């Protein structure tokens, strides 16, 4: 732990005030403060507000921690998730694991039992430090209130330096209740700026030689590249190299989806046929079949660029031809500077035209098929809607702006199909289940997005099962006047539900419903819009395209100051909808 030499003033304050003032002193390095109050942290929340720090209170620590994790992604600074001890801290571990898996900065700040009560069966006693070490980059236990400024400084810096991730700070109750704390002058301040080390030129030269000698190169950009804010340098490189670009789901928008260089529509074909792949801040994990055949060619060469040195070593299926641990922006800066200095060869003198001649028909074919699914009419207003019909209507009604809207997308089919149907022309505008495939993040993510990016519209589209994980958090959106558009695609189930609860085979008087109802079923025709109406916000139950268009037009034409919820009824049963890529 770092130490700071200080002189002290004669001013003394309470421990809770000291904690708040220390956080306020570092507020330029902290995104936001989220939490759920309770003994003994409630006075800290009041003290934060007294210091001019906004405190956003949630209904459940799990959603609160999810919001905190994604706030770090959106702002590139850690947010603080503040909880009580024991179950409060344990509930928040879901977001901590989510932050660690995705590589996002975050600080979990939890109270614990007094140090002299350890092992006595104190109220809400738990092995919090031991639990935190499983999912955090570093864990701190504040045994003296005077340590807190140095610990917070180190925690902030640890969360952002290297591969970003969560850090845990534990505040025992007796430390929080400290009296007459002297204020150090000056107070330690975190520095979240990261010095960018230049990459050895031979590595840049080798990368260029490999790409220029390739006949079918491909660039994959992930959310690590998005977190690195490398879109400008990446756009310059793709434009001059003319190498096809494929984003991961949360890498969408690094290069505008409507760019001629984006090959998302031909994803499977591009991965299967590429002979050299430049991987920027993406992982060859389950989303990419671990970089293995048959998804990839057995002879493909990988160039992996990542801030984490372990990333190129973590997959036993991949031995990268070139692996570079460094900031992606720095890599692309040097790549752009050197690219044109290398002699072209026959493969790319004409911008890889032969490779593009294979990709373009595939893109056109898959795009045409997707368009057919999107444009299917609803013949009768009583006909069930499909995922594609709903997404198409939301786009046509201008609910989404490809330049500005932050689109939170969660569920199984809801998320997979939304990835294909919604266009993003700017980075960090698609938030989904991410690397961990976490369900229950949607409402918390939407709240965080609306708080961190108040100038952008936030639309959250979830399946009914996904919405159920954190539905009560819509009250938080109402309380803080966050104009989020929540949309529930309601098919009465997980993956699929029942068309009716009246089927006799599910209501035999001699059988338990727990024996007869399918495990994937949820209650039939649930009016989720009533939840948000309970808080004085508009809710709508919709089952046809005409009404969806009318309500969306109403939302987009008015200056919305409160959240609203559209509960859209879609086809409950049938095979998994066709996903085209």
DSSP string, 163-192: S--EEEEEEEHHHHT--SEEEEESPP----
pLDDT greater than 70 at residue 439:
yes
Give me the CATH code for the 201-363 domain, please.
Answer: 3.40.50.1220
Q: Read off the tokens for 155.
A: 């925690």
Q: What are phi and psi of 514, to 5 degrees?
A: -70, -15
pLDDT greater than 90 at residue 358:
yes
Burial of 536 (0-12, 13-18, 19+ CB in 10 A): exposed
In this structure, of 303-307, 378-382, 545-549, the range with the lowest mean pLDDT score is 378-382
Pick the residue with more confidence: 511 or 397?
A: 397
Reported as a pLDDT band with limits 50, 70 and 90, residue 200 is very high
**Of how many residues is the chain composed?**
581
Chain region(s) in the chain for CATH 3.40.50.970: 7-185, 375-501+513-569
Preceding peptide of 561 cis, ω within 30°: no
pLDDT greater than 70 at residue 503:
no
Chain region(s) in the chain for CATH 3.40.50.1220: 201-363
Unique residue bearing structure tokens 């160039």: 303
pTM (two decimals)? 0.93
- Residue 530 has what pLDDT? 98
Is the CATH number 3.40.50.970 carried by domain 7-185? yes
- Residue 317 has what pLDDT? 64
pLDDT tens digits for range 532-541 = 999 999 999 9
| Segment 358-380 mean pLDDT | 94
Quote the CA–CA distance of 472 and 477 in Å, as a whole number.
10
Reported as a pLDDT band with limits 50, 70 and 90, residue 558 is confident
Q: Read off the tokens for 361.
A: 């028909």
Compute the mean pLDDT over every residue in the chain, rounded to the nearest whole number.
91
User: Does residue 491 come out as left (phi exceeding 0), alpha (psi in the -120 to 50 range) or beta?
Assistant: alpha
C-alpha closest to that of 419 among 248, 193, 230: 248
375-501+513-569 CATH, one of 3.90.550.10, 3.40.190.10, 3.40.109.10, 3.40.50.970: 3.40.50.970
Element (H, E) at 55: strand 55-57
pLDDT tens digits for range 443-491 = 999 999 999 999 999 999 999 999 999 999 999 999 999 999 999 999 9
Reported as a pLDDT band with limits 50, 70 and 90, residue 346 is very low
Element (H, E) at 96: helix 87-102
């Amino acid at each position: 732990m770092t130490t700071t030499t200080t002189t002290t003033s004669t001013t003394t304050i309470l421990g809770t005030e000291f904690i708040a003032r220390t956080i306020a002193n570092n507020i330029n390095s902290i995104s936001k403060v989220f939490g759920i109050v309770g003994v003994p942290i409630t006075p800290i929340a009041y003290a934060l507000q007294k210091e001019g720090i906004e405190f956003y209170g949630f209904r459940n620590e799990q959603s609160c921690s999810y919001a905190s994790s994604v706030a770090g992604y959106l702002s590139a600074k850690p947010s603080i998730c503040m909880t009580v001890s024991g179950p409060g801290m344990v509930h928040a571990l879901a977001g901590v694991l989510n932050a660690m898996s995705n590589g996002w900065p975050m600080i979990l700040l939890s109270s614990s039992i007094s140090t002299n009560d350890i092992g006595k069966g104190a109220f809400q006693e738990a092995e919090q430090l031991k639990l935190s070490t499983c999912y955090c980059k570093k864990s701190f236990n504040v045994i003296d209130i005077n340590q807190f400024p140095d610990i917070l400084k180190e925690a902030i810096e640890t969360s952002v330096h290297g591969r970003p991730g969560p850090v845990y700070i534990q505040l025992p109750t007796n430390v929080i209740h400290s009296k007459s704390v002297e204020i150090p002058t000056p107070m330690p301040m975190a520095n979240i700026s990261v010095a960018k080390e230049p990459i050895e030129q031979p590595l840049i030269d080798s990368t260029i030689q490999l790409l220029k000698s390739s006949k079918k190169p491909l660039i994959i950009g992930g959310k690590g590249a998005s977190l690195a804010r490398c879109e400008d340098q990446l756009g310059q490189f793709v434009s001059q190299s003319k190498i096809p670009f494929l984003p991961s789901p949360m890498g969408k928008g690094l290069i505008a989806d409507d760019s001629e260089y984006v090959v998302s529509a031909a994803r499977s074909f591009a991965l299967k046929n590429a002979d050299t792949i430049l991987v920027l801040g993406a992982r060859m994990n389950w989303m990419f079949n671990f970089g293995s055949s048959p998804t990839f060619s057995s002879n493909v060469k990988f160039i992996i660029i990542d801030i984490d040195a372990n990333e190129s070593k973590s997959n036993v299926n991949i031995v990268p031809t070139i692996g570079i641990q460094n900031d992606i922006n720095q890599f692309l800066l040097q790549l752009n500077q050197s690219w044109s200095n290398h002699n072209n060869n026959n493969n790319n003198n004409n911008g890889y035209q032969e490779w593009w001649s294979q990709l373009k028909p595939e893109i056109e074919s898959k795009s045409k098929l997707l368009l057919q699914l999107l444009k299917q009419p609803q013949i009768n207003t009583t006909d069930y809607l499909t995922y594609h019909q709903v997404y198409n209507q939301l786009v046509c009604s201008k609910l989404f702006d490809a330049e500005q809207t932050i689109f939170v997308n969660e569920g199984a089919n809801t998320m997979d199909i939304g990835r294909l149907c919604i266009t993003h022309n700017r980075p960090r505008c698609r938030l989904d289940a991410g690397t961990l495939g976490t369900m229950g993040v949607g409402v918390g993510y939407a709240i965080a997005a609306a708080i961190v990016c108040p100038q952008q519209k936030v639309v959250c589209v979830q399946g009914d099962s996904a919405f159920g994980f954190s539905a009560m958090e819509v009250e938080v959106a109402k309380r803080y006047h966050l104009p989020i558009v929540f949309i529930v695609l309601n098919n009465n189930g997980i993956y699929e539900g029942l068309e009716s609860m009246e089927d006799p085979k599910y209501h035999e008087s001699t059988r338990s419903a727990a024996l007869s109802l399918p495990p994937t079923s949820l209650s039939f025709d649930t009016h989720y819009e009533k939840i948000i109406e309970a808080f004085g916000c508009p809710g709508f139950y919709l089952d046809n395209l005409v009404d969806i268009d009318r309500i969306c037009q109403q939302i987009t034409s008015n200056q919305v100051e409160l959240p609203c919820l559209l509960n859209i009824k879609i086809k409950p049963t049938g095979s998994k909808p066709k996903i085209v890529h």
